[in-house]
Amino acid sequence: MKNNLQEIRNNHNMTQEELANQVDVSIQTIQSIEKGKYKPSDSLALNISHSLNKEVAEIFS
């Protein structure tokens, strides 16, 4: 799954650790999502989108 998570997170001046804490996952999970090695569940994708104030489709495609 292609995603723009790292770019959008960086645009919000947010670290992987800050995002991980906001959505209650490990930093490793955020890293894996950004590298495209892990597809987040629908609920996690929604939580990430809310944390970044973006639509899910803007982050994940």
Tokens of 6: 């790292």
Tokens of 38: 């892990």
Q: What is the pLDDT of residues 32-58, one digit of tens each?
A: 999 999 999 999 999 999 999 999 999
pLDDT of residue 48: 98
Angle separating helix axes 16-23 and 27-34, nearest 10 degrees: 110
> Is residue 59 pLDDT above 70, yes or no?
yes
Structural domain boundaries in the chain: 5-53
Q: How far apart are CA 34 and CA 2, in angstroms?
A: 9
User: How confident is residue 1, by pLDDT bands cut at 50, 70 and 90?
Assistant: low
User: How confident is residue 21, by pLDDT bands cut at 50, 70 and 90?
Assistant: very high
pLDDT of residue 61: 84
Three-state DSSP class for 60? strand
State which fold the 5-53 domain adopts.
434 Repressor (Amino-terminal Domain) (1.10.260)
Classify residue 55 by its DSSP letter.
Answer: -
